[in-house]
Amino acid sequence: MLTFLLAIILLVVGYIFYSKFVEKVFGINDKNETPAYTKNDNMDYVPMSWWKGSLIQLLNIAGLGPIFGAVTGALYGPVAFIWIVIGCIFAGAVHDYFSGMLSLRHKGAQFPTLVGRYLGKTMQSAINIVSIVLMILVAAAFTAGPAQLIAELTPLTFLTAIIIIFAYFLLAAVLPVNRIIGKVYPVFGGILIFMAVSIAIALLFSEHQIPNLTVSNLHPQDLPIWPLLMVTISCGAISGFHSTQSPIIARTLKKESDGRKVFYGAMIAEGIIAMIWAAAAMTFFGNTGGLQEAFAAGGPAGIVNEISTSLLGTLGGILAILGVIILPITTGDTALRSSRMMLTELFSSLFKNLSGKWKVVLATIPVTIPCFLLSTIDYTFLWRYVGFTNQTVATIMLWTATMYLLTNNKLHWITGIPALFMTGMVSTYVFYAPEGLNMDYYVSLVIGAVITVFVCIWYIRKIVSNRKNRSQDSYTSAA
């Protein structure tokens, strides 16, 4: 229990102190007029208060990610606590802050546009495809689970439930951000927080003993911690999906100083939620072996339902149903909204002559159709590919932020070191994982290390080149 409480305290302290340091490095200026005012269109660019933006951002980036991912990561034991704390404070929250603030500084630009500006057009072309694929996978994966539960609880069929969900998706994606998202999502964000806090309090005062710190791998199948834990628990530590969601809220901020509370703060809140659910999962079933049996019996949704109803009674059952149905749906629709924004930027010449409403509708349809088709296949199959694609996008975003800081002569290490860490993790994962090349673990480690070394050399050369350019500029100015 001591480790769990200490981890929560560290996350809060990380927000209080490290977020201010990151904000200082970025360099905010509240005199700068934000895109919410300079590009106000009453659709995507609409000023909103920071507290409302924070709750919407939390709901957009979280959904069931920090719940399902955390209970799955709990199979590794308390080592998951370490990853959530370190990953969230030094990687995930920094990633989210820069993805939001860079969008803010570049007129509400989407993630691929930012990549193109700082990593080049070739990388932008690749990340456009990867990002849109990620959005489609997330929306599909976050549709299948709720549809299945709706089919079990009501007379509706699975297909009918999917159709209803997608009808809502289309409605939420094409309406102005302050209609449904701005009015209803803060309430759902509050439910997400209330659900986690209730579980934490009930867990602390129950007879269950939360395990303390150990770096031992307690996974029943003895799966390696590196790199699998870092992909299993992405939401709650670091998630590339967030870089696609942050521009939605960046287009609504009233001033730059709101960014720390909205982007860094929402990620810390997600980390706390993930910590609570990881602790509940590794505690409630006695050990990781018992948790594995619970997975086999009912999957993550069954685990969440059993923990909630056992610790909170009827209220827990209601919260579990709300969580498993509502939370993933609210993430799925903003995934489609983000992909619509990306397509609009990518094919701006095709959409420039269309009126606002027609442009929004026509940009939404191409991503909705494949998402609908994918949502009818196995959820667990989809989720495996979401994990890898997600962390690849996170790695690219960190390198984008690093090049921004380097170009502007700022302290680039705060993103460069996490970017190198993520490069090694993703490189190893793609060679080792079943959905990757499924190679021998130790061979994958070596290949991942070699790739990371080459990327590190590229990074060092960029640093040296930047210093030379600064020296030349100084010499020219002096002359």
Least confident of 6-15, 94-103, 315-324: 315-324
Q: Is the pLDDT of residue 348 over 80?
A: no
Contacts 24+ apart (CB under 8 A), 404-410: 404/98, 404/102, 404/118, 405/25, 406/462, 406/463, 406/466, 407/118, 407/466, 409/466, 409/470, 410/25, 410/26, 410/27
What would the two tokens of residue 16 be? 């209080």
Domain map (residue ranges) of the chain: 2-399
Residue 323, SS3 per DSSP: helix
Looking at residue 68, its pLDDT comes to 84
* Residue 358: half-sphere exposure toward Cβ, Cα within 13 Å: 6
pLDDT of residue 257: 97
Tell me what pLDDT residue 356 has.
57
Q: Where are the alpha helices (DSSP H) in 154-217?
A: 158-174, 181-204
* Alpha-carbon gap, residue 258 to 50, rounded angstroms: 6
d(CA 7, CA 84): 9
Q: What is the mean pLDDT of residues 431-437?
A: 88
pLDDT tens, 21-79? 999 999 999 999 999 999 998 888 999 999 999 998 998 887 677 888 899 999 999 99
Give the pLDDT band (50/70/90) at residue 354.
low
Average pLDDT across the chain, whole number: 86
DSSP secondary structure, 261-283, as one string: IIIIHHHHHHHHHHHHHHHHHHH
Query: Which secondary-structure segment (H or E) carries 59?
Result: helix 50-62
Residue 271: phi and psi, rounded to 5, are -60, -40
Mean pLDDT score, 73-99? 96
User: Is the bond leading into 227 cis (omega within 30 degrees of zero)?
Assistant: yes
Distance CA 397, CA 453 (A): 19
Q: Give residue-wise pLDDT tens across range 282-338.
A: 998 888 889 999 888 877 778 888 888 888 888 777 777 777 677 777 777 777 777
Higher per-residue confidence, 442 vs 360? 442
* pLDDT given for residue 168 in this prediction: 83
pLDDT for position 252: 96
Q: Which helix (H) or strand (E) holds 213?
A: none
**What per-residue confidence (pLDDT) applies to 310?**
86
Q: What is the pTM of this model?
A: 0.90
Task: Give the chain's radius of gyration (CA, Å).
Answer: 22
Per this entry, what is the length of the chain?
A: 479
| Dist. CA 144–CA 461, nearest whole Å | 46
- Position 7 pLDDT exceeds 90: yes
d(CA 354, CA 349): 10
Q: Which of 68-82, 129-143, 406-420 has the lowest mean pLDDT?
A: 129-143
Instruction: Using pLDDT thresholds of 50, 70 and 90, give the confidence band for residue 9.
Output: very high
What CATH topology corresponds to 2-399? Answer: Amino acid/polyamine transporter I (1.20.1740)
Over 80: is that where the pLDDT of 92 sits? yes
pLDDT for 369-393, tens place per residue? 887 777 776 656 666 677 788 899 9
- Judged against a pLDDT cut of 70, whether residue 353 lies above it is answered with no
pLDDT at residue number 270: 95
With residues binned 3-state (H G I as helix, E B as strand, rest as coil), the percentages for the chain, rounded to 5, are 80, 0, 20
DSSP letters spanning 184-199: HHHHHHHHHHHHHHHH
Q: What is the pLDDT of residues 256-293, one digit of tens each?
A: 999 999 999 999 999 999 999 999 999 988 888 899 99
**Residue found under tokens 């049996």:** 293
Measured CA to CA, the distance from residue 240 to residue 55 in angstroms comes to 19
